[in-house]
Amino acid sequence: MALRVQPLMFGSAPRRQRRWGRVWRPNLLIGGALVLLLILAALLAPRLTSYPPDQMKSTICLQAPSLAHPFGTDKFGRDMFSRVLYGSRIALQMSLLSVLLAAVPGIWLGLLAGYYRGWAEQILSRLMDAWISFPGLLLAIVLVARLGPSLNTTVIALGIVGIPPFYRITRSGTISTRQMLYVEAAQALGLGNWRILLRHILPNLASPLIVLLTQRLGTMLLAAGGLSFIGLGAQPPLPEWGALLASGRDYLDTAWWLAFAPGMAFTLSVMGFNLLGDGLRDTLAP
């Protein structure tokens, strides 16, 4: 009777397969590709088009998409492909700055409230609960209307509105991590509170914070575009996607490409950040 010999399986191979299996996720790959495409469009905009975004030419006004102008031209004869490419710079810049402006105070306040607890934590938590109960975009509209429409005020308003999610996830993570044995051991050894926060607690919160940062980039990008669409964000002639959508809504029947190009840019960018965030959450999950 013939014996069937099974191949030896070493421990490194299954671990390698599991590691690649966690990385090889459709959400992560598709989202990463879309975000990479957005970054490349922002970085290489001057090399990808030969038309300045504000160059007007009266002889080609409202020209349909063609080889010379892949996304057509607007009512002033400006190349829409160039304006969408340069608009990716504004979109990426506004979303990044808004998220950073929200993340830094939100994370620090969450760390301090979750670690020290007490009456200060109760006041901050009630304040954040009241803060997050208001619709974020509506609150941003009020702030921008009060400060005046511009790129800077849009970033500031969205940053202020975006603080509570970072506070809540950091606070809850700090409370649970504070009860870990290694944190209690660090306290018993006499390590300072700031060292414990920065060296032992904050690194343990990296995974959920990375996921939240990624997903909030898409949210901020869409919110900034919404403010520009209603005239409270970027002002003409800046080629911001929301402003491009607003200028193209009057030509949906005669020049559909004016709204289609920035609309697709919005859709793919927000989808990319959301898919990337979902993929990172699944990959970084313990």
Tell me the pTM: 0.86
pLDDT of residue 10: 44
Mean pLDDT by 10 residues, the chain (286 residues): 47 50 78 96 93 91 93 94 96 96 96 88 89 87 89 94 95 90 83 86 92 95 94 88 92 93 96 94 78
Cis omega (within 30 of 0) for bond into 237: yes
- Enter the tokens of residue 211: 């996921």
Tens-digit pLDDT profile for residues 19-78? 545 567 889 999 999 999 999 999 999 999 989 999 999 899 999 999 999 999 999 999
Q: How far apart are CA 261 and CA 239, in angstroms?
A: 12
pLDDT of residue 199: 87
pLDDT of residue 22: 59
Tens-digit pLDDT profile for residues 24-34? 788 999 999 99
Of 1.10.3720.10, 2.40.50.700, 3.30.40.230, 1.10.150.20, the CATH number of 40-56+80-284 is 1.10.3720.10
